[in-house]
Amino acid sequence: MLKIVVIDDEPLALEVIAGHLTKLEEGHAVWLFSKAGDALRHLKNNQADVLMLDIELPEMTGIELLKQLPDPPLTIFTTAYRDYAFEGFELGVIDFLLKPISFKRFSAAMGKVKDFISLKTQNTQLEVEEAAPEFIFVKSGVKRIKLYFERITHVQGLKDYAIIHTKDEKIVVKGSIKTVQEMFPPDLFIRVHKSFLVSRSFIKILERNRIVIGEHQIPIGRNYRDEVEKVVK
């Protein structure tokens, strides 16, 4: 059972999220807060698995609150302002929900949380095969799985882990996004954000400050914009 803390100063927003949680098949323990200070005290004294955090709060912003947590839970930002996504991913949030939040989009975000928690327990690692530049091995226990670079769409860094997205699966490995980047061929992958590495061949659509790959919207960091634009020219 996941322990979930929801913080939003709008009663209707709290009601919507609470309603979405009741529709999910899995049971959850949920704490709802309308005041940032009350929520911060709770988080500092109690364990939480997931934090759903509005950014625009009267006492402090959600970003300021998150920075005060030494070891924050998996965090999903909720906001009416799309541009906050970029700063949110800088802080290692797992997803970003734009209000009004549909149940379909909410369910997808919770799916990311459950996948990450489940896959993290497998303790997977990457191994480079120097003589084989077209693939890398994912080591999980005694198993070694061959992962071809051409099937990888992008990688998201999250705390001390990296989520590798392929065309049809996700793999969570121990290690930072920087470590993964050093193991991937630079002619095939490009860093587009502090928390994201993307396959050059999958960069087809740019919308404002993000790359669209299927259902994924990947933010482009300000310091990476020029290099990304060269890929699509």
Per-residue model confidence as pLDDT tens digits over 146-188: 899 999 999 999 888 999 999 888 888 888 999 999 999 999 9
Nearest-angstrom CA–CA distance, 6 and 227: 37
In this predicted structure, what is the pLDDT of residue 222?
Answer: 86
**Inter-axis angle of helices 11-23 and 103-120, to 10 degrees?**
60
Which pLDDT score, from 0 to 100, does residue 129 have? 67
Q: Which CATH number describes the domain made up of 124-232? A: 2.40.50.1020
pLDDT tens track of the chain, all 233 residues? 899 999 999 999 999 999 999 999 788 999 999 999 999 999 999 999 999 999 999 999 999 999 999 999 999 999 887 766 666 777 888 998 999 999 999 999 999 899 888 878 777 888 876 656 899 988 877 788 889 999 999 999 988 899 999 988 888 888 899 999 999 999 999 999 999 999 999 998 888 788 999 888 899 988 898 999 888 76
Could you tell me if 147 and 135 are in contact, meaning their C-beta atoms sit under 8 angstroms apart?
yes
Scanning the chain, the segments in alpha helix (DSSP H) are 11-23, 36-45, 62-67, 84-90, 103-120, 177-183, 225-232
The pLDDT value recorded for residue 138 is 87
Fold of 2-120: Rossmann fold (3.40.50)
Is residue 211 within 8 A of residue 218, CB to CB? The reply is yes
Per the listing, tokens 């050059």 go with 200
First to last CA, the chain: 48
Identify the pLDDT of residue 31: 98
For residues 98 and 92, what is the distance between their CA atoms, to the nearest angstrom?
17
Return the domain boundaries, the chain: 2-120, 124-232
